Amino acid sequence: MNAPRPTIDGSAKVFENLEISLIDLFRAQLQGGVNMVSGRTFKNCRLHGPVVMLALEGVTFDSTNFGFHGGDIANLVLRPAGEKVIGALPFKDCAFIGCQFFAVGFTGPETFLQQILALETTQ
């Protein structure tokens, strides 16, 4: 029998020491009438998908483990083919501090993607 998923407080500004399904977080935002995760801080959280995160302006990462990438960080990067990205979860003005991602791909403006691609990783 599967355990019930914990309820996510879509109005919380800070999430600390939690395991969070990003799709559940996004659903909580939608229930509140908001179609973007904005103005949130995540500290020492494990954030998982499977999802693609659309990192917009103001999204920062400090001491972040971006997760398994099969030896090449480029495997986590998806470049938009058009002017808009449909189907990705948008994040704006969010800080990720000491977090770990699992089964998350990343997309966004080219400057953001270049920062991800420049990371030195050992996984």
Which of 52-84 are b and which e, b meaning 16 or more Cβ less than 10 Å from the residue's Cβ? bbbbbeebebeebebbebeeebeebbbeeeeee
* pLDDT tens-digit series, residues 66-82: 988 888 889 999 998 88
Quick one: 101 exposed, middle or buried, by C-beta within 10 A (0-12, 13-18, 19+)? buried
Separation of alpha carbons 83 and 71, rounded Å? 29
**Whole-number mean pLDDT of the chain?**
89
* pLDDT tens-digit series, residues 8-66: 777 889 999 999 999 999 999 888 888 999 999 999 999 999 999 999 999 999 999 99
Specify the pTM. 0.88
